[in-house]
Amino acid sequence: MTDERNAKGISRIDSGSTHGWFVRGYRNGKTYSRLFSDRKSGGREEAWKAALAYRDELYSDLEKIPSKPRERRMVYRDSRNTTGVLGVSRTKKKDSQGRISECYSVSWRPRPGQQKCTSFSIRKYGEKKAFELAVSLRKQKLREIYGPSVIRKINQRAKNKGEQSML
């Protein structure tokens, strides 16, 4: 009998004329998959056994493939951004006394899954200076994360699209 608890990487497909067990494995962004049809395998139970054996063999083979580090993806635009600089936004903060102050917030991701944020007060620096400080910090962090040529790439991408880059 099939043991669904042992089914990591195996899914059941019962759709239209397709009935069988679907095996999937992943390595370095590539998907490896195979369907074990009930009809071709001699029944549901036999298809399950074949899928389980294949899954175990596939996972063993995938372990032998050296893992590549994930590439970082650079995001250039976001339609929700109103400042014109991705990662810089004009926000409001509430202090410990409950007073609301406006600022420019800067966010960046030093590593995948980790987000950092800081802000520059408009009251303290003024509108223009707070924005400039935020943009400057964002540029600095992008250089640290992606390397020194990242600003040039962003500016070139904006130029190719007929836009003005804020970086």
Query: Is residue 151 classed as helix, strand or coil in its secondary structure?
Result: helix
Q: Which residues is 12 bridged to in the sheet?
A: 21
Question: CB under 8 Å to 70, separation ≥6 — which residues?
Answer: 29, 112
User: The tokens of 49 are what?
Assistant: 């056994």
**pLDDT above 90: residue 150:** no
Residue recorded with tokens 């998959």: 33
Burial label, 17 (beta-carbon count in 10 A; 0-12, 13-18, 19+):
exposed
pLDDT digits (tens, 9 = 90+) for 98-131: 889 999 999 999 888 889 999 999 999 999 999 9
CA distance linking residue 145 with residue 101, whole number of Å: 30
Q: What is the pLDDT of residue 5?
A: 62
* Mean pLDDT of the residues in the chain: 86
Query: Is residue 77 classed as helix, strand or coil in its secondary structure?
Result: coil
Q: Calculate the dihedral angle through the C-alpha atoms of 46, 49, 52, 56, rounding to the nearest 10 degrees.
A: -130
User: Which DSSP category does 9 fall into?
Assistant: T
pLDDT digits (tens, 9 = 90+) for 56-114: 999 999 999 998 876 655 555 666 778 888 889 999 988 888 889 999 999 999 888 88
